[in-house]
Amino acid sequence: MTVTLHLTAAPTAAEEAAARGALRDANAAAGFPHDTRPLCILLRSEAGAVAGGLVGRTGWSWLYVENLAVPPALRGGGWGARLLAAAESEARARGCIGARLDTYTFQARGFYEKQGYRVVGAIPDCPPGQTRFTMIKRLDAGGETG
């Protein structure tokens, strides 16, 4: 097979699916089929507008928290902890044994540590002048990972 490189900042949905499919096929062949499911918990105003929330997914028996946002006016009221606890509860119901997320020095590392997460990796200067932290929390009785 002959191939060429093609750079695009705007791949079609089909192109992106095909590119991701190659890795998914290899993972499945290694015994790890693609099994992700979306998980979203929203904070809604009385009018029904989305004010923040948690967006993530579950797969391979883990919760992947991709985004957790509480608007400034609601911070300090326990909403972040409730969002995270609700996601962890749903993840457990889906059979997950752990949760994983990334945060930065300018974000909420301390908040996540208070919720039982611990740092398992750090990337300095990502973005420049800051550190990106990968954090995990076990959701089962299986103990520590990493």
Among 73, 71, 35, CA closest to 51? 71
Q: What are the distances in angstroms from CA 77 to CA 2, 54, 73, 74, 82?
A: 58, 16, 9, 6, 10
Give the pLDDT score at 144.
60
Domain ranges, ordered by start, for the chain: 36-138
113, 116, 120, 126: CA torsion to nearest 10: -40
Over range 127-136, report the average pLDDT: 98
**Model pLDDT, residue 16:** 93
Domain 36-138 has CATH 3.40.630.30: yes
Q: What is the per-residue pLDDT for 116?
A: 98
pLDDT digits (tens, 9 = 90+) for 72-125: 999 999 999 999 999 999 999 999 999 999 999 999 999 999 999 999 999 999
pLDDT at 145 over 60: no
